[in-house]
A and B are shown apart, each in its own frame.
Chain A
């Protein structure tokens, strides 16, 4: 089983739609959680951290459910510029303390 699992998509949504991505992680000792964004043929960049109480950054909302080992990202009022691959990222617990990346969910926002 992969440490971090995501639905690969692709998700094709019209401009203005609300879209949600989910991610599950297998290691209950994982400590911190992030969403990264990767544009086509570009490097990944941090989109936002995910906090236990849930957090919002403009049109983006991230949620964490530790009991179910589940992370989500909600994008409201999708823009064409949101088209990208969204990577779920988990910080391993214990002495390793390295980031583990999901394989990503591809989003295309259509005009």
Chain B
């Protein structure tokens, strides 16, 4: 079974703090993704990566950056957290040959 894990289920941070969200997958998938999910807006793509050290902007990259130093790990960084970044963050991965994405359990981030 594919397993995607995220470092925290719940996180509370203060405005202006630097926040790191980590994601690890164990199936040697080339592609990894970070989404945020908000009521009424669905899942929106923040950043994705096709390979180690590769990154591409998604639909809403402003205020975020990412890092992929190893194939299995994809980190999302909030350089200076703001209250409008309070959300559920979901990591996903997939192989190049399939469009089935496997999601992690999510991190609910609250910025106060």
* Interface of A toward B, CB cutoff 8 Å: 4, 8, 32, 34, 42-46, 87, 91, 98-99, 101-104
Contacts of A87 in B (CB 8 A): 42-43
Contacts of A8 in B (CB 8 A): 40
Q: Establish whether residues B106 and A43, one from each chain, have CB atoms under 8 Å apart when the complex forms.
A: yes
Contacts of A4 in B (CB 8 A): 42
Q: Establish whether residues B105 and A46, one from each chain, have CB atoms under 8 Å apart when the complex forms.
A: no
Question: How many whole Å from B61's CB to the nearest CB in chain A?
Answer: 13
Q: Establish whether residues A103 and B106, one from each chain, have CB atoms under 8 Å apart when the complex forms.
A: no
Q: Establish whether residues A98 and B101, one from each chain, have CB atoms under 8 Å apart when the complex forms.
A: no
Q: Output the nearest chain A residue to B9 by Cβ-Cβ distance.
A: A41
Q: How far is the CA of A87 from the CA of B101 in the complex (A)?
A: 13
Proximity bits, B42-63, A CB within 8 Å = 1, else 0:
1101001000000000100000
Interface status of B90 (Cβ within 8 A of chain A)? yes
Q: Establish whether residues B104 and A101, one from each chain, have CB atoms under 8 Å apart when the complex forms.
A: no
Question: How many whole Å from B105's CB to the nearest CB in chain A?
Answer: 6
Q: Which of B1-50 contact A (CB under 8 A)?
A: 35, 40-43, 45, 48
Q: Establish whether residues A99 and B99, one from each chain, have CB atoms under 8 Å apart when the complex forms.
A: yes
Contacts of B99 in A (CB 8 A): 32, 34, 91, 99
Question: How many whole Å from A103's CB to the nearest CB in chain B?
Answer: 3
Contacts of B48 in A (CB 8 A): 98
A43 touching B104 in the complex, CB below 8 Å, given contacts A32-B99, A98-B48, A98-B58: yes
Given contacts A45-B103, A103-B42, 7 further A-B contacts (CB under 8 A): A4-B42, A32-B99, A43-B104, A44-B90, A44-B101, A46-B101, A87-B42
Q: Establish whether residues A44 and B45, one from each chain, have CB atoms under 8 Å apart when the complex forms.
A: no
10 A–B pairs (Cβ distance < 8 Å), ordered by A:
A4-B42, A8-B40, A32-B99, A42-B105, A43-B105, A44-B103, A98-B45, A101-B35, A102-B42, A104-B42
Q: Output the nearest chain A residue to B6 by Cβ-Cβ distance.
A: A43
Q: Output the nearest chain B residue to A103 by Cβ-Cβ distance.
A: B42
Q: How far is the CA of A4 from the CA of B42 in the complex (A)?
A: 10
